[in-house]
A and B are shown apart, each in its own frame.
Chain A
């Protein structure tokens, strides 16, 4: 397959019409439609962050589609594999986890049929729906992958699902798996940097390309700038009332996965920051009204119902301060000291990437991080969405509840959900649980 792609001139027409990443085309259509509807239909000062997200994610998706249509190799990767690295190659990179979840946010029941296809194939119902959706799409022949890449983290779903995708079709797709150690110390960072560098050259070898570290450095410069912007946005969230809407949490997750190391992602954060600063000046919340309850959300936001965040903000007067993806526990990296230093910095970031940091090590991280964040951002309570597939963090739910209660005296609600499949726990059930929690504790 790879050889066929590289000889583009031979069968260009066939490849150009091959629609090798149809789910990206579906998602692009959904994003374009949603953007038109929100820009034309929603009042100007409403859903500003969503409008910026749709505007900025569009070119990133389009770029990937065009690359695939031009015949560049398609590599599917876990979000934990630093997406910036693919800027060093001429490839179309597909983020396995984010496609079904973004689709579930924009289209009612969007990826459900693909979950069902995977389950009909024999995929366990309790495995991660974000990967199950892509597996269903792959079984349904909507994707053609030339390679797969994932670190050996953050969870057992990943260890199982990527090798499954490798062997799912007749042709054995190369799987590149840098080994991520459990510990987070200098020796571990050095080890993973070596693994990551090896994986970069493996990608190059598979596709017959030399990695372009200059392009990678440029991508990381954007990521460095993003870190500054996110830090500023986080500072704004400390203000009461919090000027940033809850919807920012799931949207950050989406844009971070789809547009790593790109000007669009930086633009999104700049837009949010600008809006946030303006609101702080006027002492406003995004949803208006009073901020009644500041909520720490230690795990994933609910992707399958994007309207939930607006209900949360407007009807409940609540604010989602942080979910697991929105606080970045790592620093900027040096981009001008050569490939070794560059990859070392990326490795350090990758090991502390949200969810990877909290899920692939001992549970101390999730406890420490969310006690720290709850204190720092003055949360009144926490809501833990216990995602069906994330068995590694389920062990931390009770421990975190006790830690928050003992150290800060704040209560935590846990709700069993599937963050990308509304059939597991319906949105009405979730809303009822939150309403009851709030009425019980806050009167």
Chain B
């Protein structure tokens, strides 16, 4: 670790920022993901149960890990030990929150998915390394727009 206090402070602040993203996703999926959790078992096939997916934020140089199970999702800060897929958010720091918020407000249906692919995936703002299926599955778990409280907005 650098001895320079400014760099060290920045590094730790970025780590905290990524950690809050993990906490936010954890809470949001637990609170508002319920209507979609029945599809969790369908989405996460037996062979992917327990898989780790790393979400890496290029602007922060920090990652969070999502642990997939057929009953719940756990988001933690830090790199994954052995990720099956790496989802990379390749956008500037100030764009991270708007993208995460937009993902959360997206409806988990074909139109929502198509919007995401056109806006972010094809423009290489969000890249997926490894299994595309699992990458998309994780992103779909963040699509909470079908929840009645989000539909009211």
Instruction: Report which of B9, B21, B28, B30 forms a contact with A33, defined as CB distance below 8 A.
Output: B21
How does the 8 Å CB contact mask read for B18-35 relative to A, with 1 for contact and 0 for none? 011111101110110000
- Contact between B101 and A40, CB atoms less than 8 A apart: yes
**A190 within 8 Å of B (CB atoms):** no
Q: Which residues of A are found within 8 Å of B78, using beta-carbon distances?
A: 109
- Contact between B19 and A307, CB atoms less than 8 A apart: no
Interface SS, B side: helix
How does the 8 Å CB contact mask read for A19-31 relative to B, with 1 for contact and 0 for none? 1001001110110
**A172 within 8 Å of B (CB atoms):** no
- Shortest Cβ distance from B6 into chain A, in angstroms? 6
Q: Which residues of B are found within 8 Å of A25, using beta-carbon distances?
A: 9, 12-13
**B153 within 8 Å of A (CB atoms):** yes
Q: Which residues of A are found within 8 Å of B17, using beta-carbon distances?
A: 29-30, 33
CA distance A211 to B10 in the complex (A): 35
Instruction: Report which of B13, B19, B31, B100 forms a contact with A106, defined as CB distance below 8 A.
Output: B19
CA distance A243 to B98 in the complex (A): 32
- Contact between B5 and A18, CB atoms less than 8 A apart: yes
CA distance A42 to B23 in the complex (A): 13
A25-B13, A107-B16 known; A41 and B23 CB under 8 Å? no
- Shortest Cβ distance from A16 into chain B, in angstroms? 11
Interface SS, A side: helix
Q: Which residue of A lies closest to B151 (CB)?
A: A43
- Contact between A22 and B12, CB atoms less than 8 A apart: yes
Instruction: Report which of B5, B21, B26, B28 forms a contact with A42, defined as CB distance below 8 A.
Output: B28
Q: Which residues of B are found within 8 Å of A307, using beta-carbon distances?
A: 23, 26-27, 30-31
**A250 within 8 Å of B (CB atoms):** no
Q: Which residue of B lies closest to A31 (CB)?
A: B20
> A37-B100, A45-B149 known; 6 other A-B pairs, CB under 8 Å?
A19-B6, A25-B9, A29-B16, A37-B97, A37-B101, A108-B75
What are 18 pairs between A and B in contact, CB < 8 Å? Answer: A17-B5, A19-B8, A25-B13, A26-B15, A26-B16, A30-B16, A33-B20, A34-B20, A41-B24, A43-B153, A45-B149, A107-B19, A107-B77, A108-B77, A109-B19, A110-B19, A142-B12, A307-B23
Q: A-side interface residues toward B, CB under 8 Å?
A: 17-19, 22, 25-27, 29-30, 33-34, 36-38, 40-46, 103, 106-110, 142, 306-307, 310-311, 314
